[in-house]
Amino acid sequence: MQNLIMPMAGKSSRFNTTRPKWMLTHPYSGNYMALASISKLSLSVFDNLYFVFLQKHQEEFGFQTGFENQLAQLGVLSKSKLIFLRQETESPAQTIDEAIKIADIRGKIYVKDSDSYFELEILDLEQCVTYCTLEQVDLIDAKSKSYIQMDKFSTITNIVEKQVVSSNFSVGGYGFSSAAEFSAAYEKIRKNDREIYISDVIFHMMLSGAQFKGVKASGYEDWGTLESWELYCKQFNTLFVDIDGTLIENTSSLFEPYLGTGKPIYENIKAINNFYDSNKSSIILVTSRPESSRDETIIELSKHNIRYHKLIMGLPHAKRFLINDFSTSNPFPSSISINLPRNSSNLEEYLHNL
């Protein structure tokens, strides 16, 4: 039996938001942060997925239906189990232990933090710590991580919390060959007068002779602090881009040069395509061309290799206003306007600071 457990019933002191941080909305997928964090894991290898919450969060925010709907969209609702705790736990280790007891979890477990994203093809859930190297990342809260030291066979020889003893740090994924062994180790150290980390459980098990391997991940994103989350979210955007005079030299259905005969503005097309290729932008093309010319327009866009996600046609040939709300999760200013001289080719300069 292979189980994934995600603890979300502890303290979230590093986020000053109205909602627990795992509930924050991923800017591109629209999923909860917690579910976005496992979107690149091979969930098919797990027999069960356990998500551990506080009952008071369900009573206050009513998230259960939305969470289950997203699990259904991911195709894993049938093997997912939601566990609600009455009291806030002191640490992720305590959350895991309580979940194991409440749900009678048996077999292998893989513990996944809700505030980190990484890509990993999980084929073996034997005892491991998923890690990245400091060289792989641009910005992390280094003092908040646990670090591992390994021998040449990737066997972990030491794991230390919040001390940089090597360039290899845990990305928030931990494998244990037995849920019962995890609980037994936690029980032996839980009376220590401090917060018990997953790394503490691993270290204790290592002292008792257990072996853990380091398993390297890729694509790591640190969502553990509000600063790192906001920096991550700022990478995403939606671009509403006019066609005529911006990507293609201005044409008209009334006068020469007629629709379909405009010259492409290659510099601007390249700038927009770069945003499209980043997989962090939604490109929506807008135009006052009539809806009757949609097929012709699509052919023209394809001819010039203009990449986009949606095409809105038939807008009035007049001023355009973008009105958008802002909040703590989508801070001010949440909308920006760029006015580009007609047929100019320097769109990249205007987009540079987005």
CATH 3.40.50: does it fit domain 237-351? yes
The burial class, CB within 10 Å (0-12 / 13-18 / 19+), for 129 is: buried
Tokens of 212: 């853990």
pLDDT reported for residue 251: 81
- Strand spans (E) along the chain: 2-7, 48-54, 80-85, 108-112, 116-119, 128-133, 146-150, 156-161, 168-176, 213-216, 218-222, 237-242, 281-286, 310-312
What angle, 0 to 180 degrees and rounded to 10, lies between the N-to-C axes of helices 179-189 and 198-207?
90
pLDDT in tens, 340-353: 888 999 898 888 76
Computed from CA positions of residues 296, 299, 305, 310, in that sequence, does the dihedral angle turn out positive or negative? positive
Where in the sequence of the chain do the CATH 3.40.50 domains occur?
Answer: 237-351
pLDDT reported for residue 76: 96
Query: Model-level pTM?
Result: 0.85
Where in the sequence of the chain do the CATH 3.90.550.10 domains occur?
Answer: 2-227
| Ramachandran region, residue 154 (left: φ > 0; alpha: ψ -120 to 50; beta: rest) | left
At the second CATH level, the architecture of 2-227 is: Alpha-Beta Complex (3.90)
Tokens of 163: 């001390």
Residue 244: closest CA among 234, 254, 236, 235: 254
pLDDT at 96 over 90: yes
Q: What's CA 142's distance to the chain center, in Å?
A: 19
pLDDT reported for residue 353: 67
- Helix residue ranges, H only, 104-251: 179-189, 198-207, 226-233
pLDDT reported for residue 146: 92
H/E segment holding residue 58: helix 55-61
pLDDT at 190 over 90: no
Dihedral pair phi/psi, residue 132, rounded to 5° = -130, 170
pLDDT reported for residue 92: 87
